[in-house]
Amino acid sequence: MLEQGKWAITGGKTLLPSGWQDEAVVLIEDGVVRAVDGSTHGHRAVNARGGLVLPGMIDLHGDAFERQLMPRPGVHFDMRLALADTDRQLVANGISTAFHGVTHSWEPGLRSQASLIAVMDALEAARDDLLCDTRLHLRHETFNLDGEALALEWLASGRVDLLAFNDHLADIQGKLHKPADAITVLQRTGLSAPELQALVARVADRAGEVPASTAKLAAAAQQAGIPMASHDDLTPQTRHEYQAIACTISEFPKNEETARAAQALGNPIVFGSPNVVRGGSHQRHAVAAADMVAKGLCTVLTSDYYYPAMLQAPFRLAQDDACPLEQAWALVSTHAADAAGLTDRGRIAAGQRADVLVVQPPGRMPAHVMLHWMAGRLAYSRMDH
């Protein structure tokens, strides 16, 4: 469904930058919110009574797409099918703008350079056919020194929308002697245990080259106006080092001390919605995102590895008194847009891109999207309008 036209959303409880408003009429025209007032002005009216009228969500970090490509170890599916099915999930779960997190690693297999290029090419070919505004979040492994030149090309040519610096080498090294932990990496790479050990040793030997490579990539991203994040910051020192090269988003800091350092620097601080919905991280010793929200140490929530969690997380935060719903919704909309430099979305206000949701709050069943406009087009409906 892609109905374009002049729409008037009436009857719902609407979240505006100034707060909740019960009698607001949201007017949509030519792809933007034309006005928010008390009249339909002859536009096609949609009664959202009983629902919440909310700005569409912006997902800065979603890598569940990998499971569409390889739902079982060694089982691969067509890239176009994976993109199309992911797009439907995003729309149905209220995500209007999505940054697909795709890893550029020194690993072979699923996270290899060849796999990344295939995703990039497929995404660019399919972009006009996708409903969600789908962008590329390049998750560059800092030890992928052989991939530096290509990454620089992609940054300069506009193929990257968000750059994140990742370093999973130490994590993989820690798994090498634990077969139960190593199996995921072995399946992902297609390597045997001895082959993986040899590869990790070769990669680790080049540690001295990593800082200069990271700085070079950061300079290129800054010149291109591309926002940057550091992933899994371990210490305040790490966060300060990335801040020094204009990498200002702290993505999944590993502890409260590091999150506080990011807060002091005025950084957007990103955690995952699944962490909130599940009541804690799936990783041992990782911080609980809801606690970070309650302490003011989380400013953005993402889908991370599970798209449906992003819609549920704000309601869970409000239910658990971590923060009011309007503040919780800003974590998946306004603050996410600001972190990515997307000034045209993330709030319902005149002149903003018309990414608008009507959401049924949770009751006997979880919250669900009833209507979803994307750039003024009605892309999804679960109600008779």
pLDDT for the residue numbered 68: 80
CB 96 within 8 Å of CB 133? yes
pTM here is 0.93
pLDDT score at 23: 86
Q: Is 225 found in the same domain as 248?
A: yes
Q: What's the domain count of the chain? A: 2
* DSSP structure class, residue 3: B
Do 358 and 226 have their domain in common? no
Are both 281 and 330 inside the same structural domain?
A: yes
Torsions phi, psi for 98 (to 5 deg)? -130, 130
Q: Is residue 334 a part of any domain in this protein? A: yes
Answer whether residue 5 shows pLDDT above 90.
Answer: no
Structure tokens that stand for 193 in this block = 């245990």
* CATH number, position 372: 2.30.40.10
In a shared domain, residues 239 and 113: yes
Asked if 376 and 310 sit in the same domain, the reply is no
**Burial (CB count <10 Å: 0-12, 13-18, 19+), residue 226:** buried
Lowest mean pLDDT segment, chosen from 96-105, 145-154, 228-237, 276-285: 276-285
**pLDDT tens digit string along 153-176?**
999 999 999 999 999 999 999 898
- Which residues does 41 contact at the CB level (< 8 Å), separation at least 6? 8, 27, 35
Per-residue CA distances from 188 to 67, 184, 225, 373 (Å)? 11, 6, 33, 37
Range of the domain at 102: 56-340
Residues 38 and 140 in one domain: no
Q: How many helices (H) and strands (E) does the chain have?
A: 15, 18
Confidence at residue 280, expressed as pLDDT on a 0 to 100 scale: 75
- 72 and 186 co-located in one domain: yes
**What tokens appear for 178 in the block?**
């634990």
Shared domain for 60 and 193, answered yes or no, is yes
CB burial of 76-112 (b: ≥16 within 10 Å; e: otherwise) equals eeebeebbeebbebbbbbbbbbbbbbbbbbbbbbbbb
